[in-house]
Amino acid sequence: MFYILSPLYRLYERRLLREVRRGPMPRHIGLILDGNRRYARERGLDDPLAGHRIGADKLEEVMDWLEELEIRITTLFALSTENLTRPPGELNGLLALIEAKILAVAVDPKIHEKEVHIRAVGRLDLLPAPLQEAISIAEEATREHDRFYLNLALGYGGRQEITDAVRLLLRERGKCGMSLSRIAEEITPEDIGKYLYTYDLPDPDLIIRTSGELRCSGFLLWQSAYSEFYFCDAYWPAFRKIDLLRAIRSYQQRKRRFGT
């Protein structure tokens, strides 16, 4: 059956690609990478990290698809603050896997050939020192790149990001001698936006979540106020190019109202 279906899938993929290329393309896509553990369990894999390893390898493939479509900004929800409370055995393995992947990406010739700027966003201070060092290496190695932007949300929580933004705003204005009552009177949504982790990037046009779950789990709460959402049934390790193309096609078929 696989050999019969494969040519059909390739034909469908090419048709989808032609269709999508005719429409408006999102500038910034957010990806909630969900379903690694369930993918492993359903395939009888005993190692709890097996799904995460396959999911990590999927990233390179998906980035190639996005580059082909000239989607220049991608933000991946890879590790939430809640994930940091997982059992130590699983968490330590997951953190080591992320560290190794980031170090590999930092020296990947394709990353430098495509001029991908890598940045981590989140409460990085909550991450172990070796992972923080790996992040610094990747960010420094790609600091001058500006063709594509890959944001890795690590130790990330949307409520925490907003809290951090407000805290920074209060501190900065307090240093200028402003009273709390004046700050409260003058503060605007635009002011808070300037202190978000992704303050210098456009908000995501489209957010895709894999695994069939219908929630955002706190991902880019502020920035996604007017984003379009697409929920894909496939687990992240099984995410296919046609899944990405379907998501973009769905985005293109919607009329964005931006709150009106």
Catalytic (active-site) positions: 34, 83
**Rounded to the nearest 5°, which phi and psi values hold at 53?**
-65, -45
Query: Which helix (DSSP H) or strand (DSSP E) does residue 208 occupy?
Result: strand 206-209
Give, as one character, the DSSP assignment of residue 108. Answer: -
Burial (Cβ within 10 Å: 0-12, 13-18, ≥19) of residue 100: middle
Pairing of strands 73-80, 148-156: parallel
**Burial class, 31, CB count within 10 angstroms (exposed 0-12 / middle 13-18 / buried 19+):** buried
- What is the three-class DSSP state of 167? helix
Structure tokens at 251: 């985005």
Segment (H or E) for 240:
none
